[in-house]
Chains A and B, each alone.
Chain A
Amino acid sequence: MDAVTYPDPRVIAFFQKEMIPLLVNHKTQPLAGRFNITWTPTLVTLDKWGDEHHRTVGFLPPEELIPSLVLGQAKIHFESDRFQEALADLERLLTDYPKSKAAPEAIYLRGVCTYKKTGKTGPLKEAYEKLQAEYPSSEWTTRASPYRLL
């Protein structure tokens, strides 16, 4: 990632505007123990208090890292019941990075966020139908499959 992803101008601009990038050696304690690091690279999205909301392991190119981080931002908002902000993050991900590997999870989470915000089950079924149509082999299609019965 040091050779390909972090020198990319899109990544540099993303961090400059949107997140605090923190570089830590995988052996550094107590952080490696606190975050149970067993392999590198491990990429963790934390809220401003330092609590974890999203994690990936392994190399990501620039066009996958940025949507993964936007998904992490959405999860921070979702997990603090800030559904409108989470939905804005997810719409941005799906508009700007529709082909990214984070997109199926974003569709799933968008359905869940909309349900939690409105109490209406239609968005859950719509999420499943979109996943089934566009990502039939995704694990997120499987996870959403009970919503087809709504």
Chain B
Amino acid sequence: MESRVQWETDFDKARARAGAEGKPIFLFFHNPA
């Protein structure tokens, strides 16, 4: 198992992966400040 969440940071890439893998997307808006 991975040791941390493997985040995507690009919407189009996440959507392409979601389509290819047949999975939904969890979109997390955060404030890094």
Residues of A within 8 A of B (CB): 1-2, 6-7, 9, 11-13, 15-16, 18-26, 31-32, 35, 37, 40-50, 53, 69, 72-73, 76
**Interface size of B as a range:** 20 to 34
Question: Within the assembled complex, what's the spacing in Å between the Cα atoms of A9 and B5?
Answer: 9
State the majority secondary structure of interface residues on A: mixed
A-B contact count (CB 8 A): 124
Task: Assess whether B25 is in contact with A22, with CB atoms less than 8 Å apart.
Answer: yes
**B2, B24, B27, B32: which contacts A76 (Cβ < 8 A)?**
B24
Highest count of chain A CB atoms <10 Å: which of B11, B18, B21, B27? B27
Docked complex: B9-30 residues within 8 A CB-CB of A: 9, 11, 14-15, 17-19, 21-30
Task: Assess whether B26 is in contact with A21, with CB atoms less than 8 Å apart.
Answer: yes
Task: Assess whether B4 is in contact with A22, with CB atoms less than 8 Å apart.
Answer: no
Question: Within the assembled complex, what's the spacing in Å between the Cα atoms of A76 and B24?
Answer: 8
Residues of B within 8 A of A (CB): 1-9, 11, 14-15, 17-19, 21-32
Task: Assess whether A35 is in contact with B5, with CB atoms less than 8 Å apart.
Answer: no
**B14, B23, B25, B30: which contacts A25 (Cβ < 8 A)?**
B30
**A18, A21, A45, A49: which contacts B5 (Cβ < 8 A)?**
A21
